[in-house]
Amino acid sequence: MSKLPYFSLNEYFKQKYKNRIQKITISLPFTCPNIDGRKGKGGCIYCFDGSIPPGNDRNIPISIQIKLGIEKGKKKYGENTKFIIYYQTNTNTYEKIEKLKEYYDESLKYNDVVGIDIGTRPDCINQEILSLIEGYTEKLKEVWVEYGLQSSSDETLKKINRGHSVRDFIETVELTKKTKIKITAQIIVGFPWEKKEDYLKTAKLCADLKINGIKIHPLYIMRNTKLGNEYLKEKFKLLSLDEYINILADIVEILPSDMVVIRFTAEGDEKYLLAPDYCKPAYKQQIKKKLIEELNKRGTSQGSKCNVSYDR
């Protein structure tokens, strides 16, 4: 297969490891300061039960979730597969330090686990937690934190009730960069009030900060969320699949060629997904194919336009 026009997570793993690497997504009984009132109430307007992935159950003990994930991964990808434990649901640094250590330490108990990836908010980290996480770099090959930024516009962050600012994100990234931890930023494309230039500014901020990886999510609307209720009242316009691909290709072009593009699809639980259709799991491969076609048609690839500057 020819080389992809972007630096995928699979490619990153292939360059570093002989074995196949798979992520095991786990959900734990964490909450979020934007839900419990410390930062805000009600959460981000699109938040669907702490972003729990379909099929996950936060009440299953962590050891069982990891064991089941390893079993499933080996069955599907072979005995030599290695794993990264992805702490995904809610805010996985929002607990007492002793409890965090207990949860993260669980990843050290399995020979086939080579890393951890901890999803959190940029306003939910401090030096003590970073030092704890950095400690795992001595035992694990991959130690990542994932900060939700979503947009580089404070106005958008206010509208989505994010409860933190762009400055919080920048300061947290700068603090994290002083450690050996790798950083992923998560951004959203598709807010009805944002335009292509806004998404490019957000991506450019991540590029300028020289973070290690990016997750680009199309906005998707779930039932029983604030955004979902607004959508049911007034069907505001969402990006079509072609519009999304076009913006996605523009984003990929301005990212540095060594930044790992970890994700650019969303897979909302179909039972609750209101729109858009292309956020159904079945579209994952189609989006990938369309992005490759678009970049090939343009004759560009990741990094082609990474010197373009955007005002912030």
Give 82 or 121: the residue with its C-beta nearer to ligand SF4. Answer: 121
C-alpha span between 55 and 70 (Å, rounded): 16
Nearest distance in Å: CB 118, ligand SF4: 13
Nearest distance in Å: CB 13, ligand SF4: 26
Give 38 or 139: the residue with its C-beta nearer to ligand SF4. Answer: 38
Closest CA to 221 of 168, 279, 157, 295: 279
Give 43 or 190: the residue with its C-beta nearer to ligand SF4. Answer: 43
Give 225 or 265: the residue with its C-beta nearer to ligand SF4. Answer: 225
150 binds ligand SF4 (CB under 6 A): no
Nearest distance in Å: CB 4, ligand SF4: 29
User: Do residues 241 and 285 make contact, with C-beta atoms less than 8 angstroms apart?
Assistant: no
Q: Integer distance in angstroms from the first to the last C-alpha of the chain?
A: 39
Binders of ligand SF4 among 283-312, rule CB under 6 A? none
Binders of ligand SF4 among 193-252, rule CB under 6 A? none
Closest CA to 120 of 171, 183, 75, 41: 183
121 binds ligand SF4 (CB under 6 A): yes
122 binds ligand SF4 (CB under 6 A): no
Nearest distance in Å: CB 50, ligand SF4: 4
The two tokens of residue 118 are 């901890």
Nearest distance in Å: CB 306, ligand SF4: 29
Nearest distance in Å: CB 38, ligand SF4: 11
Nearest distance in Å: CB 31, ligand SF4: 8
C-alpha span between 230 and 228 (Å, rounded): 5
Task: Say which residues have a Cβ less than 8 Å from residue 292's Cβ, sequence separation at least 6.
Answer: 4, 5
Give 34 or 302: the residue with its C-beta nearer to ligand SF4. Answer: 34
SS3 content of the chain, % helix, strand, coil (to 5): 40, 20, 40
Give 164 or 204: the residue with its C-beta nearer to ligand SF4. Answer: 164
C-alpha span between 241 and 24 (Å, rounded): 28
CA of residue 5 relative to chain centroid, distance: 20
Binders of ligand SF4 among 32-91, rule CB under 6 A? 32, 34-35, 43-44, 47, 50-51, 90-91
Instruction: Scan for tokens 């972007």, then name that residue.
Output: 6
The two tokens of residue 39 are 């930062």
Closest CA to 157 of 188, 120, 124, 126: 188
Instruction: Scan for tokens 């970073």, then name that residue.
Output: 130
Give 5 or 190: the residue with its C-beta nearer to ligand SF4. Answer: 190
CA of residue 46 relative to chain centroid, distance: 15
Binding site for ligand SF4 (CB under 6 A): 32, 34-35, 43-44, 47, 50-51, 90-91, 121, 148
